[in-house]
């Protein structure tokens, strides 16, 4: 079995050397409040602006689409923030944590979906960046796309600490810029009465916008622990939850509302042009600075996606054949992710907003069962007690295939199918509801309850004993396994 510890301070140098391996307590650093700028800047960029346009593009008005954005974002952020608390407790990136629920090999299902998410998002990011650079400076699209991609790649190569630092400084800039824009729009922009008419509620745009906002936030669940795993273990579950929730909700919701306001003001323009036109109309000359700052946020979030894609690729490779977790393998995986997203961006067609909305819907369908199963397992079934070494053991206590997680995932996904409402398929229940898509509300409880049912036969006492033996010397100073009460259940006690 490979060595999971032994290097020291691998995230504090110029280039991070760790990838999907465990972060020992000796290497932990940072403050829990560092999470809010990571996820504020994670939402404050042009791709998030595009998410706020979905309902307006379907005919909704400004007031109802704004309400949908707030409600959807609040709902989706709830799940991703709970995933963030797993990082400090386990010291592992997000996707590798799926092995206890789905098995050493069974987790490939989830990782394949996550990889599509990371690379797909970045393809959209690169298209938006190219459009923005062309709008600002003109010139041919290909050099703009390549330059943007390389800049994002440099940050991803440096890794964890540089991503945190970049997100922190960009957050401060974006708070100022978004504040100026919001005050200017609120006090100087004029909209038609239709945009504020509460009597013009339209179910389809409202649900589409609400679930697009929720999906956008939920999909960050696939990498949120990646940026909390170097934090000290004692930062606390509540603190890590709320600092993540605060940053992600404010950054994502605020920026989606910027997109909603811009699309309502200039519905016939592409999102980049609409955003600049709105800023210039509210505050003459402010359009280009707003676009430039939004572009900076897009660079770092593209780095985040490249980083997450590289960790997911390594997880996939490690499930197929044992992989040496070195800087070279991390950079190789990163290179594959960069090339893949760039090729998709170059080949993509022009109807960006429609395709982006469809992409968010598909991701919502695919990630809803996973997020329910992962959180139920962590908080209710295993209660955060896992063996790090057994997660990397192909013949360990979690098995190669876990019928519990795979069954719950299949049940949740199949339960959602009648509620799907996308261009390629509309389910029978969705048709009865006039095309309204409420699939997520069905998939979450079905997946969670099926998994809880399946886990009734799980022998947790034996599993905890085996986990205790496997990790006995993982952290010999800071970690001890003891008996609890009259039962001999092994549980972790963290000093």
Model pLDDT, residue 479: 44
Contacts of the segment 118-121: beta carbons below 8 A, 24+ positions apart: 118/222, 118/223, 118/305, 118/306, 118/308, 118/309, 118/312, 118/337, 118/341, 119/305, 119/309, 119/337, 119/340, 119/341, 119/344, 120/341, 120/344, 120/359, 120/363, 121/47, 121/219, 121/305
Model pLDDT, residue 137: 83
Q: pLDDT over 90 for what percent of the chain?
A: 61
Under the banding of pLDDT at 50, 70 and 90, the label for residue 495 is: very low
What number does CATH give the domain 25-458? 1.10.4160.10
Model pLDDT, residue 357: 64
Model pLDDT, residue 36: 96
Averaged pLDDT, 105-134: 88
pLDDT by residue (tens digit) across 141-193?
888 888 999 999 999 999 999 999 999 999 999 999 999 999 999 999 999 99
Averaged pLDDT, 103-124: 90
φ, ψ (nearest 5 deg) of residue 267: -65, -20
Instruction: Inform me whether the pLDDT recorded for 10 exceeds 60.
Output: no
Instruction: Inform me whether the pLDDT recorded for 360 exceeds 80.
Output: no
Q: Write a three-state SS string for the chain.
A: CCCCCCCCCCCCCCCCCCCCCCCCHHHCCCCHHHHHHHHHHHHCCHHHHHHCCHHHHCCCCHHHHHHHHHHHHHHHHHHHHHHHCHHHHHCCCCHHHHHHHHCCCCCHHHHHHHHHHHHHHHHHHHHHHHHHHHHHHCCCHHHHHHHHHHHHHHHHHHCHHHHHHHHHHHHHHHHHHHHHHHHHHHHHCCCCHHHHCCCCCCHHHHHHHHHHHHHHHHHHHHCHHHHCCCCCHHHCHHHHHHHHHHHHHHHHHHHHHHHHHHHHHCCCCCHHHHHHHHHHHHCCCCHHHHHHHHHHHHHHHHHHHHHHHHHHHHHHHHHHCCCCCCHHHHHHHHHHHHHHHHHHHHHCCCCHHHHHHHHHHHHHHHHHHHHHHHHHHHHHHCCCCCCHHHHCCCCCCCCCCCHHHHHHHHHHHHHHHHHCEECCEECHHHHHCCCCCCHHHHHHHHHHHHHHHHHHHCCHHHHHHHHHHHCCCCCCCCEEEEECCCCCCEEEEEC
Q: Which residues in 435-472 are b (16+ Cβ under 10 Å) and which e?
A: ebbbbbebbbebbbebbbebbeeeeeeebbbbbbebbe
How far from 319 is each of 37, 73, 239, CA to CA, in Å? 33, 34, 33
Cα 331 from Cα 438, distance rounded (Å): 40
Instruction: Sort residue 457 into left (φ over 0), alpha (ψ -120 to 50) or beta.
Output: alpha
Instruction: Inform me whether the pLDDT recorded for 204 exceeds 60.
Output: yes
pLDDT by residue (tens digit) across 373-417?
999 999 999 998 999 999 999 999 999 999 999 999 999 999 999
Q: What pTM was estimated for this model as a whole?
A: 0.87
Which is nearest to 412 in space by CA: 378, 371, 377, 363? 371
> 3-class DSSP state for residue 401?
coil
Cα 296 from Cα 462, distance rounded (Å): 50
Domains in the chain: boundaries: 25-458, 461-495
330 Cβ contact partners less than 8 Å away, ≥ 6 residues apart: 16, 17, 19, 310, 314
Under the banding of pLDDT at 50, 70 and 90, the label for residue 349 is: low
Lowest average pLDDT, out of 194-208, 279-293, 356-370, 372-386, goes to 356-370
How far from 442 is each of 32, 209, 428, CA to CA, in Å? 33, 18, 14
Lowest average pLDDT, out of 55-69, 374-388, 473-487, goes to 473-487
Whole-number average pLDDT of the chain: 87
21: its two tokens: 């391996």
- Sign, CA torsion 60/63/64/67: positive
Cα 27 from Cα 31, distance rounded (Å): 13
Averaged pLDDT, 194-222: 90
User: What one-character-per-residue DSSP string does 362-386 give?
Assistant: HHHHHHHHHHHHHHHIIIIISTT--
Cα 384 from Cα 394, distance rounded (Å): 21
């Amino acid at each position: 079995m490979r060595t999971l510890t032994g290097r020291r301070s691998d995230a504090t140098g110029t280039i991070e050397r760790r990838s999907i391996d465990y972060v020992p307590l000796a290497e932990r650093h940072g403050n829990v409040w560092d999470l809010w700028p990571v996820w504020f800047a994670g939402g404050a960029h042009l791709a998030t602006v595009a998410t706020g346009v979905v309902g307006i593009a379907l005919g909704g008005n400004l007031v109802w689409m704004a309400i949908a954005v707030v409600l959807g974002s609040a709902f989706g952020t709830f799940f991703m923030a709970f995933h963030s608390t797993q990082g400090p407790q386990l010291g592992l990136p997000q996707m590798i944590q799926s092995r206890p629920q789905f098995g050493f090999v069974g987790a490939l299902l989830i990782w394949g979906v996550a990889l599509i998410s990371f690379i797909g998002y970045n393809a959209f990011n690169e298209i938006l960046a190219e459009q923005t650079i062309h709008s600002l400076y003109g010139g041919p699209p290909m050099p703009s796309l390549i330059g943007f991609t390389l800049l994002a790649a440099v940050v991803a190569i440096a890794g964890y600490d540089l991503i945190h630092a970049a997100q922190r400084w960009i957050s401060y800039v974006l708070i100022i810029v978004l504040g100026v824009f919001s005050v200017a729009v609120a006090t100087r922009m004029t909209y038609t009465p239709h945009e504020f008419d509460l009597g013009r509620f339209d179910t389809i745009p409202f649900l589409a916008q609400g679930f697009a906002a929720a999906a956008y936030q939920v999909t960050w669940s696939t990498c949120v622990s990646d940026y909390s795993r170097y934090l000290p273990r004692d930062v606390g579950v509540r603190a890590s939850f709320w600092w993540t929730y605060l940053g992600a909700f404010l950054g994502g919701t605020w920026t989606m509302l910027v997109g909603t306001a811009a699309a309502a003001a200039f519905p016939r323009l592409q999102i980049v042009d609409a955003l600049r036109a709105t800023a210039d109309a509210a505050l003459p000359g402010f359009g280009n600075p707003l676009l430039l700052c939004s572009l900076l946020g897009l660079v770092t979030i593209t780095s985040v996606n490249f980083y997450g894609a590289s960790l997911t690729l390594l997880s996939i490779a490690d499930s197929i054949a044992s992989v040496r977790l070195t800087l070279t393998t991390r950079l190789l995986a990163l290179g594959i992710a960069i090339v893949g997203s760039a090729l998709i961006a170059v080949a993509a067609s022009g109807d960006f907003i429609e395709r982006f909305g469809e992409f968010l819907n598909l991701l919502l369908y695919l990630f809803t069962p996973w997020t329910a199963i992962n959180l139920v397992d962590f908080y209710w079934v295993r209660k955060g007690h896992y063996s790090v070494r057994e997660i990397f053991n192909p013949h360990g206590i979690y098995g190669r295939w876990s019928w519990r997680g795979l069954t719950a995932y299949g049940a949740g996904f199949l339960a959602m199918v009648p509620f799907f409402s996308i261009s390629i398929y509309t389910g029978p229940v969705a048709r009865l509801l006039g095309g309204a898509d409420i699939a997520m509300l069905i998939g979450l409880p079905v997946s969670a309850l099926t998994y809880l049912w399946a886990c009734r036969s799980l022998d947790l006492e034996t599993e905890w004993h085996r986990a205790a033996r496997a990790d006995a010397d993982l952290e010999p100073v800071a970690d001890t396994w003891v008996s609890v009460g009259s039962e001999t259940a092994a549980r972790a006690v963290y000093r």
